[in-house]
Amino acid sequence: MVDMDVVRVSKRLSKVLRHRPETIGITPDANGWVDIDALLVALAEHGLSLTRQDLDEVVSKNDKKRYTIDESGTRIRAAQGHSIEVRLEYPATRPPAVLYHGTPRRNIGSILEHGLDRAGRHAVHLSADLETASRVGARRGEFVVFVIDAAAMARDGFPFHRSDNGVWLTERVPAAYLTVR
Ligand code: HQG
């Protein structure tokens, strides 16, 4: 597959596995998994014909490793980023002392006042390194990076989870644990 198609297919997968599975008539299970054979049939019925090999290529070439195929090789899900209700069931994991979150500059005031909330996704997404957080922020233009005192949050009992693709997830970040970098 050419790179452009890999990106195009990935965007479609993101839509159906994270946000709108009903657009191709599939229903992920409670943990977000979808049977791969059924997914390929549903995609083909909705205008995207793909072989299993194509799918494996999209998954392995994906720049952020957005999709996970289970150990049996029969099911796929998005590693994070869902807006559909999902239980990802990553184990609670002790975070690094500091985590980062990049966001458009216009959000500063609101975030300093209210903290970070999930905003429609199933969790707040945090990055272990500044570069990744900057890239996330830069998607929407001028941005700032918040530094999160994850050690203090963990100490205060906030659970953290690390997704299969290395994104740190937590339910919310109260303003007290945030500073602008
Ligand atoms: C903001 C992409 C005002 C928050 C990225 C963010 C990431 C607030 C936006 C992944 C707020 C939600 C997730 C508050 C949060 N006031 N704004 N109180 N609390 N926000 O896209 O973290 O390519 O749902 O700062 O690379 O930007 O899709 O989250 O700007 O990894 O795989 O509300 O999505 O990955 O936006 O991005 P998003 P995000 P993919």
How does pLDDT run across 80-97, given as a tens digit for each residue? 999 999 999 999 999 999
With tokens 């109260």, the residue in question is 174
Pocket of ligand 1 from Cβ distances under 6 Å: 64, 66, 81, 103-104, 107, 110-111, 114, 116-117, 119, 121, 125, 136, 167
Mutate to test the pocket of ligand 1, among 58, 83, 125 (most ligand atoms within 8 A of CB): 125
Between vectors from CA 4 to CA 38 and to CA 142, what angle results, nearest 5°? 110
CATH tag, 98-180: 3.20.170.30
Question: What is the residue with the minimal CA distance to atom 6 of ligand 1?
Answer: 103
For residue 125, the CA-to-ligand 1 centroid distance in Å is: 7
Mutate to test the pocket of ligand 1, among 65, 116, 178 (most ligand atoms within 8 A of CB): 116
Positions of E strands within 45-127:
67-69, 75-78, 98-104, 124-126
* 3-78 has CATH 3.60.130.10 classification: no
pLDDT at 2 over 90: no
Averaged confidence pLDDT in the chain: 96
Query: According to CATH, where is 1.10.10.970 located in the chain?
Result: 3-78
Q: What is the ipTM of this complex?
A: 0.95
CA–CA distance from 177 to each of 4, 50, 68, 134, 137 (Å)? Answer: 40, 45, 31, 19, 19
pLDDT at 4 over 90: no
Cα 12 from Cα 147, distance rounded (Å): 32
User: Pick from 38, 70, 50, 52: which is nearest to 8 by CA?
Assistant: 50
Query: According to CATH, where is 3.20.170.30 located in the chain?
Result: 98-180
Q: For residue 160, what pLDDT band results from cuts at 50, 70 and 90?
A: very high
Task: Note the pLDDT of residue 82.
Answer: 96
Question: What is the residue with the minimal CA distance to atom 29 of ligand 1?
Answer: 125
